[in-house]
Chain A
């Protein structure tokens, strides 16, 4: 089996050690880091997203695959820096102020990374100023907010308001997600979109940035 296909399969199966080994082999054999990224890592995570959406994979399987992808990506990064391969976008992501849940946020980060985005992880319980600073200082072009509680989802609106006040709202696309979130809520607070799961978040972001 071709090396790239082996890497792709190992990611889908969540075999982190095998991914590392095969990525090393591929690099040793002169395969470009960009080719490994675009022809193995990114398609593998797209397949993982599809399997999740179709109910074949659940959160544990998705996490294991994402970790395997990260193992490979870690080896590629030194080769990608300085090359003409740039992230397709830069996403500042966090769970909003008052909310300490992080699984959904982490999954979205991993899937985004697997789709070629650079992630600025602002953690949990992130106040609006954190997002504002990230947009201003780190030139992110997407803000992704997560909330699991009805009591904290209102903080999303505060963050959007803070970005407006700072004159930064037009510089970013804002996506939101989490168990209590709906498209209607996204429309109500002026977010650019809502995604129901991590895979959808990637699709939505690509659409908003006209990447797909």
Chain B
């Protein structure tokens, strides 16, 4: 058990060695990350969202608030200390002009209110207030932790998801049928902007920082990201191939460690296409709220593994063992989420003992 300020050079060496081996397919056991919080210090709903702070609140005060929150966290296994600059999923929509609302514990991006797709002109605006804010918080976090914590890229979003925020989800669903060429054009333009925003954030991370991370658990030695397209839950594989695949491939080409966040069974229709992306390193499978946990989807996990991809899931300790027993642990990343219950030290000792027995 280690807190962020207790991480030594040896700890960071261990993190780097283990994770690099995992990415290279040379780690015979799974990666296991467990982050727990001091008893009685659970965060209020939506507390992590930076959109809930007034825009004139100084960035260093916000970072200090999160520093105090991080003081209560303990890192087990292959977990590493990270501060994620969280504005909500798909903040590029705000960079491109969407209104931002913090409501009901989360961030909502408001549509631009245009009558047609042709009125949307995605343009990089260096003075956009949310882009300025994202840079200011990232800069303050980088400066504050000075390499001792991984400052994770803000959640830029999936390209079609960003367009859905700008246009309104229902309008975009109609557009996909009625104006497919325009959808294609805009998604392509958003991809170019996505790459620009990513590159500019990446340039803010100093070489002294121990690796990279995005909102999800994977640690990367260099440029890595959890790509996504939640909108694809609603569309056919034909539309996915036309509107999503070219941009996923372009993003994968510009990253060293691309992963894909597959959220909900509606996206399973696209799994074969995703697995065909050569440069995509792995899939995060989240069955979705109300569905059985990831360890109940062995066929999906097997397909991912058999395609030669890495796989990240959120599971309980028992769930992780179940997957390791049935599929072997190699290539998996188990982020342990024990249904809100604290993970006890005794449980962990038993867990690691059994995991070691499974993986030899």
Chain A interface (Cβ < 8 Å from any Cβ of B): 14, 55, 58-61, 63-64, 67, 98-100, 102-103, 106, 125, 149-152, 179-182, 185
Contacts and interface: CB of A to CB of B under 8 A. Distances in A.
Interface residues of B, number: 22
A55 B290 CA distance: 21
B99 to A, nearest CB: 13
Contacts of B103: 100
Given A60-B173, A98-B104, 5 more contacts: A58-B239, A106-B170, A149-B104, A151-B105, A179-B288
B235 A58 contact: yes
Contacts of B264: 179
Chain B interface, >50% SS class: mixed
Say whether chain A's binding surface is mostly helix, strand, loop, or mixed. Answer: loop
A59 B173 contact: yes
27 contacts: A14-B177, A58-B234, A58-B236, A60-B236, A60-B239, A61-B177, A64-B174, A64-B178, A98-B105, A100-B103, A100-B104, A100-B108, A102-B170, A103-B173, A103-B234, A149-B104, A149-B289, A150-B289, A150-B290, A151-B45, A179-B264, A179-B288, A179-B289, A179-B290, A180-B290, A181-B290, A185-B290
Nearest to B169: A103
B170 A151 contact: no
A152 B290 contact: no
A60 B177 contact: yes
Contact of A182 (B170, B173, B235, B290): B290
A176 B235 CA distance: 23
A114 B307 CA distance: 43
Contacts of B106: 149
A125 B234 CA distance: 22
B176 interface: yes
Contact of B174 (A58, A63, A125, A152): A63
Nearest to B232: A58
A64 B170 contact: no
Interface of B: 45, 103-106, 108, 169-170, 173-174, 176-178, 234-236, 239, 264, 269, 288-290
A55 B236 CA distance: 9
B37 to A, nearest CB: 19
A150 B103 CA distance: 15
Contact of B289 (A14, A61, A180): A180
The 5 closest A-B pairs by CB, nearest first: A180-B289, A59-B234, A180-B290, A98-B104, A58-B236
Contacts of B178: 64
A67 B175 CA distance: 13
A64 B290 contact: no
Contacts of A179: 264, 288-290
A108 to B, nearest CB: 13
A176 to B, nearest CB: 11
Nearest to A55: B269
Contact of B235 (A60, A99, A150, A152): A60
Contacts of B269: 55
Contacts of A100: 103-104, 108
B331 to A, nearest CB: 28
Contacts of B173: 59-60, 63, 103
A63 B173 CA distance: 8
B234 A60 contact: yes
A103 B230 CA distance: 13
Contacts of A106: 170
B292 to A, nearest CB: 10
Nearest to B269: A55
B177 A64 contact: yes
A103 B164 CA distance: 12
A32 B312 CA distance: 59
B63 to A, nearest CB: 26
Contacts of B290: 150, 179-182, 185
Contacts of A180: 288-290
Q: Max chain A CB contacts within 10 Å: which of B45, B176, B264? A: B176
B107 to A, nearest CB: 11
A73 to B, nearest CB: 18
B104 A152 contact: yes
A185 B291 CA distance: 12
Contacts of A61: 177, 236
A63 to B, nearest CB: 5
A179 B233 CA distance: 11
A150 B105 CA distance: 12
Given A149-B289, A179-B264, A181-B290, A99 B104 contact: yes
